[in-house]
Structure 1
Amino acid sequence: MEINTSSLSPNSPSPPPPPSSSPTLYTNLKTIASPSKIKHAIVDLAINIKKVGVDDPRRIAHSFKVALAITLVSMVYYLQPFYNGIGEAGMWAILTVVVVFEYTVGATLSKGLNRGFATLLAGALGVGAEAFGSLFGPTVKPVVIGFLVFFLVAAATFSRFIPHIKKKYDYGVLIFILTFSLVSVSGYRVDTIIKLAHQRLSTIIFGGLTCIVISMFVFPVWAGEDLHKLIVTNLEKLASFLEGFGDEYYRVSKGDKSFLGAYKSVLNSKATEESLANLAWWEIGHGKFRFCHPWKQYLKIGVYTRQCAYHIEALSGYLDEQYQVPSEFQIAVQEPCMKMSSEVGKALKELGNSMKRMVYPSTSYDHIENCKKAVDELNIKLKMSMVVERDDILESIPVIAAISILVDIIKCVEKISEAIEELSKQARFKKPKDITSDETETGKPHFRHRGAAIKPVDGGNDRELITITVNSDDEIPQEMDLDKNKREINRL
C-alpha cells in the first residue's frame, strides 16, 4: 500500500515521535544496587567504623562490657534454679542493664543508684499505699489509692523542675513515678503484691550491681579523669596559640599554623565540662583523685579558660590585618608585644603542666611577672611614641587594640592561676621541694624568691658584704664587688 505524500502540505504538523521508555522501578533499583556503589558503601562504612574505634579504643571495650553484663544477667532465664526463684520478673534485670549501663563509671553509678533507691522507695510506698487503702474497705480503697497516686506523682513531677534535683536525681525521680504507679495500681488486682515487689526489686538490684561491678573493674572509664584531661588540654591549646601569636602577627615565622584554630574547641566545652563534673561527683576515689575531689573547682577553671578563649577569638581577628610596610610605631612595640604573648602562653603551659602532674603551681608566677614587666615596658614606649599625623593614628589603632586584648588575657590568666592554686590546695596537690643551699659545692647559699634563684656574684679581690632588701622584706646577704658592680647595686 502506497501513501500519497503529495497531498500533505509542507505546513502540516509532523507526526509525534514514538513514546520513550520511562525508567522502571527495576531500573532504579539496578542503578542504586550496582556492584560499584555497594562496594563503595561498604568501604565507607568500614572506614567510619575504624575511625570511631581509633579515636577512642575504650569504646570497643565498652561494647564488650555491655555484652558481658547482658550475658550474665541472662543466666536468670538460662539456669533453672534462678528461674524458679525469680520467674518472669527476671526480664527486669535485663531491662536494667540496658538502661543503666553507660560509658563512664560515674554515669553508670548515677543511673544504677538512682534506679535502685527509687525502686526501693517507690516499692515500699506502693505497698504502703495498698495497705493504707485497705483500711477504708473495698468501696473507698480505689479512691484512696487514686488520691495517693495523684498526689505523689504530682509532687515528684514538680520536683524535677528544681535545678539541684534535675541535675543529679532526675532519672531516679522518673523511675520512682513509674515504679510507684505500677506497684500501687497492680496491687489492687494482684493478691501477691509483696512477692511481686520483692521479685522486681531483687532483679533490678541484681542487674544494677552487675553493671556497676563490670563498669568499675573491667577497663573502667572515669568521668573525673576525662574532665581533668579536658581542662589540661584546653589550657594547652590556649597556650599554643599565645606562644605563636607574636611570630604570626609580625610575620616572623612561616611554619605550621594548625595551632591558630585549636582554641575554638574551648569555646564550646561548657556542656561537656558540666556533664563530666556531674558524673564525676558520683564516682568513688580512684587513682590520684581522692573521695570528694573538688570537681566544682574544675568548672570554675573552665569558666576562666573560656573567658580567655573569647579574648583569643577577638585577638585572632587581628591576624588578618595586612600591612604593606610596618610603621615606626609597630616596630617600636614589637618586642614587648611578642614578649607579652610568649610569656602569657608559657604561663598557661606551666599551669596546664602542673595540673597534669597534679603538683602545686610554682613556676607560672615567673612568667606572669615577666608579662607585667613587658606591660610596663610597653607603657614606657607608648609614652615615648609621638603620633601626630592622621595616617599614623589610623595605623596604630589596630595595634593598640591588639595590645589591649593581650593585657586582658594576662588578667584572665592570673584568675586561672589563682583558681588552679585553690584547686591544688583543696585537692592536696604535691608541693615541689624548694631549692636549698648546696654548701658542699660552693659554700654559699642560693636563695629562691618566687621561683627566681639569686646567686652570689664573684668579683675581684676587693669584696665587701652588702645587704639587698627585696619585696618580701627578706634581707639576703650577698658578696659583691663594689668597684665592678656599683651600677647594678644602684639599679637594685
Structure 2
Amino acid sequence: MESQTESTNGSGESNGHLVANCREWLFSALERLRCTVVGFTGELAKIARDDPRRVVYSLKVGLALTLASVFYYIRALFDSWGSSTIWAVIFVVPVMEFTVGATLRKGLNILLGALGAGFLAVGAHLVAQLCGGKGGPILLGVFVFLAASAATFTRFIPVVKATYDFGVVIFIFTFSMAAVSSYRVGDLIKFAHQRFTTIAVGVAIGLVTTIFVFPIWAGDDLQKLAAGNLDKLAEFLEGMESECFGENCPCSNLEGKAFLQLYKSVINSKLREDSLFTFAKWEPIHSKFRFHYPWSQYQKLGTLSRQCASSMEALAFCVITLRTSQYSEDSVDLCLKIRAACRAMSLHSAKALKRLSLAIRTMSMTMPYPTNELPTNNDMSMATKAAAYFRTELSKDVALVQVTHIAAVASLLSDIVLQIEEITECTRSLAHLAHFKNPERARSVVVINIED
C-alpha cells in the first residue's frame, strides 16, 4: 500500500511539473507572439509616418483592383471577353508604380510588348497552318524558341535594359502563351483581340487611378531631393563653423557629431536621383513643371553636390584627425591664425547653399530675406574672398605649410568654396531654363563675381 501511495504521489508530482512546464511554455510563446505583433505594428507605423504617401499608394492599388474586378462581375462584359476578362485584373498590379512617371513608363512597356507579341503570334500561327497538322506544332515550337531567345538576348543591350526591359518580358510571356494556345484555339485573331483589349483595360485602370487619385509625381521628388542635398551640405558647413572654427568652439571629440555624417546621404543619392530623373521625363504637365522641362539640370546639380560631399568627407576626416592629434603650441597659434578665414568660408558658403535650396524649392529666385541678413555682396563672393585670402597667407607662411593637417583643412574648405560656385552657376542655369520667377533678379542674388 505504501509503495502504491508513493507511486501515485510521484506520478502526481510529475503531472504537476508537466502542467507547469506546459503553462510556462504557453505563456512564453504568447509573450513572444505579442512582442512580434507589437514590433511589426510599430514598424508599419514608422513606415507610414516616414512617408504617408505609401499608405495612399497602397489604397490606390486596392481601389484599382476593385475597379478591374467589376469588369469580371458584369455579365455583358464577361460574355464579350470570356475568360480573358481576368487579364484586366492580373495586369493592374504590375502596371501600378509609386509615381506617375514610373506607371506611365510601365504601362507603355506592357502595351507595346503585348501588341507586338500579338501580331507576331498571329503571323506565326498563319505560317504554321501552311505546314498542316503535323508540321504546325513543330514550327510553332521553333518560333517560340527563336523569339524567346532573341528577345531575352536583347535584354542585355544597355538601352533596352534601361528603358524597355519590362516590355520585353511581357513580349516573351504574351507571345509564348499566344503561340502555344493557337494550336488549340479556333479563331486566334479573336483570341488575341480579347487578350490585348483586356490587358489594355487593366493598364488603363492603373493609369487613371495613379494620375487622377492623389497623384505622386517623380518630378516633385526629384526637386525635393536636389534641394534637400543642398540643405545637408549647408548644415555640414554650419556645423563646421560652430563646432570647429567658432571663437568659443568646444574641444571635445567630434567623432560622434551628427553633422559630420550628413554628407553620406548626399553621396549615396545617385541611384534614387537617376531613377527619379528617368520617371520624371515620362510625366505630363503638372504644377509648375511643363513639357521639355530641364530635368537634366537636376542631374548636373546632383553630380556637383556629390563632388562637394566627397570633399566634405575628406574635410571631416582631416578635422577629426586634427582634433585627436597632439600638436605643439606653435601649431595652435597657426590654427588660430587661419580660423577666421575658415569660419568665413564655412559661414557664407552655408548661407549660399541654403538660399539656393530655397530657390529650387520655390522655383523663384526672389526669396524674402530679413534686411539685416542681406550682405552688401553675395555670400559666395565673401566666401571666395576668404578662400583667396587663405591661399595668399598659406603661400607666404612656410611654417603653416609644414602643419599638414591644418593646411589640409583650410585647403579643402577653399576647394569646397570653388565647388559651391559651380553649384551656384548650375542653379542659375536651371532658373533660366525652367523660367523661375524673376530670373533677372537671380543674377543679382546668386551670380558669382570673383573679381570683386
**Contact 1:243 1:343 (8 Å CA) reproduced:** no
Secondary structure of the structure 2 residue equivalent to 1:74: helix
Cα distance, 1:197 vs. partner? 1.0
- Counterpart of 1:190 in structure 2 is 185
Name the amino acid aligned to 2:109. Answer: N
C-alpha separation between the residues in 1 aligned to 2:19 and 2:107? Answer: 56
Distance in 2 between residues matched to 1:302 and 1:311, nearest whole Å:
14
Q: Quote the Cα distance in structure 1 between the aligned partners of 2:65 and 2:262.
A: 40
Please tell me whether residue 259 in structure 1 is matched to residue 259 in structure 2. yes
Whole-Å separation in 2 of the counterparts to 1:247 and 1:171: 50
Structure 1: which amino acid aligns with 2:269? S
For residue 9 of structure 2, what is the aligned residue in structure 1? none
Partner of 1:33: 29
Q: 1:393 to 1:351 in 2, by over 3 A?
A: closer
Aligned position for 2:380: 368
For the residue of structure 2 that corresponds to 1:289, the secondary structure is: coil
Q: Does residue 270 in structure 1 map to residue 277 in structure 2?
A: no
Q: 1:397 aligns with which of 399, 404, 407?
A: 404
Q: Secondary structure at the match of 1:418?
A: helix
- Corresponding residue for 1:293? 293
Query: Hey, what's the Cα distance between the residues in 2 that align with 1:45 and 1:94?
Result: 30
Shift of 1:471: 10
Q: Which residue of 2 aligns with 1:280?
A: 280
Q: Larger deviation: 322-331 or 113-122?
A: 322-331
Q: Structure 1 pair 135/425, CA: closer, same or farther in 2 (3 Å)?
A: farther
Residue aligning to 2:434? 427
Structure 2 CA distance for aligned equivalents of residues 193 and 434 of structure 1: 65
CA distance 1:296–1:434, change in 2 (3 Å): closer
- Which of the residues 118, 121, 146 maps onto 2:116? 121
Is the contact made by 1:65 and 1:214 (CA closer than 8 Å) also made in structure 2? yes
TM value normalised by structure 2: 0.84
1:335 aligns with 2:340: yes
Q: Distance in 2 between matches of 1:471 and 1:98?
A: 55
Which residue of structure 2 aligns with residue 60 of structure 1? Answer: 55
Contact 1:329–1:385 under 8 Å retained in 2: no
Separation of aligned partners in 2, 1:70 and 1:449: 53
Higher helix fraction (1 or 2): 2
The count of residues paired between Structure 1 and Structure 2 equals 419
Q: Which residue of 2 aligns with 1:416?
A: 423
Q: 1:341 to 1:89 in 2, by over 3 A?
A: same
State the distance in 1 between where 2:201 and 2:446 align: 56
What CA deviation, in whole Å up to 9, does each residue of 1:66-112 have, x standing for no partner? 11111111112222122211221121111101221121111211211
Residue type of the alignment partner of 1:135: L
CA contact (8 A) 1:361 1:421 kept: no
Deviation at 1:62, TM superposition (A): 1.2
- Deviation digits for residues 238-258 of structure 1 (CA, Å, limit 9, x no counterpart): 011112312211363469954
Say if 1:226 and 1:204 are closer, same or farther in 2 by CA, change over 3 A: same
User: In structure 2, how many angstroms separate the alpha carbons of the residues matched to 1:344 and 1:258?
Assistant: 19
- Residue type at the aligned position of 1:356: R
Q: CA deviation at 1:217?
A: 0.7
Residue 206 (str. 1) matches residue 201 (str. 2):
yes
Instruction: Give the AA of the match of 1:65.
Output: K
Q: Distance in 1 between matches of 2:344 and 2:74?
A: 72
SS at match of 2:378: helix
CA deviation vs aligned residue, 1:416-453 (integer Å, no higher than 9, x gap): 22332333333233334549xxxxxxxxxxxx97779x
Q: Which residue of 2 aligns with 1:179?
A: 174
2:333 maps to a residue whose letter is E
In the alignment, structure 2 segments of 5+ residues that lack a partner are 1-13, 368-373
1:263 aligned counterpart, secondary structure: helix
- Contact 2:226/2:302 (<8 A) preserved: yes
- Letter of the structure 1 residue corresponding to residue 274 of structure 2: E
Instruction: Report if the CA contact (8 A) 2:365-2:441 is conserved.
Output: no
Mapped partners of 1:128, 1:423: distance in 2: 50
> Which residues of structure 1 form unaligned runs of 5+?
1-17, 436-447, 453-469, 473-491
- Given that 2:81 and 2:194 are in contact with CA atoms closer than 8 Å, whether structure 1 keeps it comes out as yes
SS at match of 1:288: coil
**Which amino acid counterpart does residue 391 of structure 2 have in structure 1?**
N
**Who wins on radius of gyration, i.e. which is larger?**
1
Task: Give the superposition deviation at 1:41.
Answer: 3.1
What's the TM-score, normalizing by structure 1?
0.77
From 153, 156, 159, the equivalent of 1:161 is: 156
Q: How does 1:46-85 map to 2 (within 5 A)?
A: 46-85=41-80
Distance 1:358 1:248, change over 3 A: same
Structure with the bigger RCO (C-alpha within 8 Å, sep 6+) is 2
Gap change, CA 1:331 and 1:253, over 3 Å in 2: closer
Cα pair 2:264 2:309 within 8 Å, conserved: yes
Contact 1:100 1:111 in 2 (8 A): yes
Residue 367 to residue 193, structure 1, CA distance change in 2 (3 Å): same
Amino acid across the alignment from 1:49: L
| CA distance, structure 2, for counterparts of residue 355 and residue 163 of structure 1 | 32
Aligned partners of 1:188 and 1:89: how far apart in 2?
17
Change (3 A) 1:50 1:105: same
Q: Indicate whether 1:232 and 2:227 are aligned.
A: yes
The percent identity for this pair of structures is 39
SS in 2 for 1:221: coil
Counterpart amino acid of residue 362 in structure 2: R
Secondary structure in 2 matching 1:226: helix
**CA pair 386-123 structure 1, distance change in 2 beyond 3 A:** closer
Deviation at 1:384, TM superposition (A): 4.6
The separation in 2 between residues aligned to 1:149 and 1:428, in whole angstroms, is 52
**In structure 1, which of residues 89, 94, 103 is the aligned counterpart of residue 98 of structure 2?**
103
- How big is the shift at 1:114? 0.9
CA distance, structure 1, for counterparts of residue 379 and residue 59 of structure 2: 47
- Residues 242 and 249 of structure 2 are in contact (CA less than 8 Å); yes or no, is this contact kept in structure 1? yes
Between the aligned partners of 1:129 and 1:26, the Cα distance in structure 2 is 67
